[in-house]
Structure 1
Amino acid sequence: MARVTGIGGVFLRARDAAALRAWYAEHLGIDGGDWGGKQFEWTAGGSTTWAVFDADSEHLGDRGQGFMVNFRVDDLDAMLARLRAAGAQVDDKVEDTDFGRFGWAHDIEGNRFELWQPPAGQ
Structure 2
Amino acid sequence: MKRVTGIGGIFFKCKDTEQINEWYKTHLGLETSPYGAKFDWIQDGDSAEKGYTLWSPFADKTKYFEPSTKDFMINYRVENIEALVEELKREGVTVLDEIATYDYGKFVHILDLEGNKIELFEAA
TM over 0.5: yes
The structure, 1 or 2, with the larger RCO (C-alpha pairs under 8 Å, 6+ apart) is 2
Match of 1:69, SS? strand
Q: Which residue of 1 aligns with 2:29?
A: 3
TM-score by length of 2: 0.60
Counterparts in 2 of 1:3 and 1:54: CA distance versus 1, 3 Å: same
Q: Which residue of 2 aligns with 1:98?
A: 103
Q: Distance in 2 between matches of 1:64 and 1:85?
A: 26
Structure 1 stretches of at least 4 aligned residues deviating more than 4 Å after TM superposition: 4-7
Which residue of the other structure, out of 77, 80, 97, is the alignment partner of 2:85?
80
Give ranges in structure 1 of 5+ residues lacking alignment.
Answer: 8-40
Give ranges in structure 2 of 5+ residues lacking alignment.
Answer: 1-25, 32-36
TM-score by length of 1: 0.60
Contact 1:105 1:112 in 2 (8 A): yes
**How big is the alpha-carbon RMSD for the aligned residues of Structure 1 and Structure 2?**
2.6
Match of 2:98, SS? coil
Percent pairwise identity: 27
Higher strand share: 2
